[in-house]
Amino acid sequence: MAGGTELRKAGEVFERLQKLSCLPLKGVYVSGPQNIHELLCTPSVIRLGVLEWLCTRVYPPLQEQFSSLKESEGEMKIKEMAKLGFELMLCHEGDIDLIKGLVPSSRQLLLIESLLDIIQMPPNIFRVSGLECSSQCVDEAFVNCAYENEKLLHEIFSSPHFQATLTPECNPWPADLQPLLLKEELPESAHQSDQHTRISQHLEELQKISTALHDLKEECTFLCSPVPGSETIIQTLKLAMTDFHQLIAAFTQVYENEFQEHCNHPAPRLSPCGPLFQSVHCLLESCSKELEAVAQFTATSNTITEVVRKRQQTKESWGGGSITTLHEKIKELKHNYELFLSALQ
């Protein structure tokens, strides 16, 4: 039997699916939280249909691919849905059991809820240079975002400096990090004043960069003259400079109107960033714990090896008054045993 929290969560997920007019649930009648939980978390054709519908809504090209498959190729659909979940960082690579519904119900509900969050994501979340993208552009941008996140995580985990980041040995710390390390020892007023000074300095640097870019744009008259074969590069450079200038101007305006009054107050409490960031945080935390376990196992192995080596090389008294090593004592006992056997024979 599922707990009250899982039953309530299953009911919320089922209600969201009904609001989106999920096709596999049309004509399906369920009564009670327990029946809803069994429908969403027990292997069945309807459950697979719901996941297939969600995946095709998240990534429409899958619809054409699924329609070309035969009924006997249902395993191929499951593999494609698992692949999509892995690319969206919602499950492990090749997690077929999750798609089939053979894992704990909490993981199944989290997968369905995450797919619903992606479908109901605001359409203006993807913008290019201030212009809204088409639906195809949104799909490509989302896939590219997932690919970039995957590449970033791979780069972090494969970096030789990752372990050094977990257990830093930099001593003494750089001067710019010492105020952060001594944050508790500094008075609150001094810390706030230092923070306000830093933000002001960064703001001045950004304003200088903005002015320099504006002057450089006026000096580069060649940007306005046609050069054969360089129209695309020039347009890209002009767009990048314009966007950067707008970002700096927007940051300056937001800081002066909203951020500046909060500089003398404690930092606000940030809300969770969504299911994708929570999933990434859980993966990073699990990786950190695994690395700590490997480090502890390595240290224990080294300690045991050192104890055995000392035991074999250290000379001790073995009751007969002679001082010798364990290896030599074993050889002596073996020799005496052989003499004893020969005497008996």
Per-residue pLDDT of the chain (345 residues; tens, 9 = 90+): 567 888 888 889 888 888 888 888 888 888 788 888 888 888 988 889 899 999 998 888 888 888 887 777 778 888 989 998 888 888 888 888 998 888 988 899 999 998 998 887 755 444 433 334 444 555 566 667 767 777 777 777 777 776 666 665 655 555 666 566 555 454 555 656 666 777 878 888 888 888 887 787 777 665 555 555 556 777 788 888 888 888 888 888 887 777 777 666 666 565 656 677 778 888 889 999 999 999 999 999 999 988 888 877 777 776 666 777 777 878 888 888 888 888 887
Domain boundary among 222, 244, 262: 262
13 and 106 in a single domain? The answer is yes
115 and 140 in a single domain? The answer is no
pLDDT at residue 21, rounded to an integer: 87
Q: Is 280 a member of any domain? A: no
Question: Cα(281)–Cα(207) distance, rounded to whole angstroms?
Answer: 35
Domain boundary among 262, 295, 323: 262
248 and 141 in a single domain? The answer is no
216 and 253 in a single domain? The answer is yes
111 and 135 in a single domain? The answer is no
Q: Is 291 a member of any domain? A: no
Domain boundary among 120, 139, 167: 120
pLDDT at residue 294, rounded to an integer: 92
Q: Is 286 a member of any domain? A: no
pLDDT at residue 131, rounded to an integer: 37
52 and 25 in a single domain? The answer is yes
48 and 30 in a single domain? The answer is yes
Q: Is 133 a member of any domain? A: yes
96 and 133 in a single domain? The answer is no
114 and 130 in a single domain? The answer is no
pLDDT at residue 134, rounded to an integer: 46
56 and 111 in a single domain? The answer is yes
Contact 117, 275 (CB under 8 A): yes
How many domains, in total, are found in the chain? Answer: 4
Question: Cα(115)–Cα(225) distance, rounded to whole angstroms?
Answer: 49
108 and 151 in a single domain? The answer is no
Q: Is 274 a member of any domain? A: no
Q: Is 140 a member of any domain? A: yes
Domain encompassing residue 232: 178-262
> How big is the chain, counted in residues?
345
Q: Is 289 a member of any domain? A: no
- The set of residues, in sequence order, having a beta carbon less than 8 Å from that of 223 and lying 6+ positions away, is 217, 234, 237, 238
Question: Cα(314)–Cα(324) distance, rounded to whole angstroms?
Answer: 8
pTM to 2 decimal places: 0.39
236 and 343 in a single domain? The answer is no
**CA-CA distances (angstroms) from residue 223 to 178, 210, 219, 322?**
45, 18, 9, 94
Q: Is 134 a member of any domain? A: yes
**CA-CA distances (angstroms) from residue 106 to 2, 8, 92?**
10, 12, 15
pLDDT at residue 197, rounded to an integer: 78
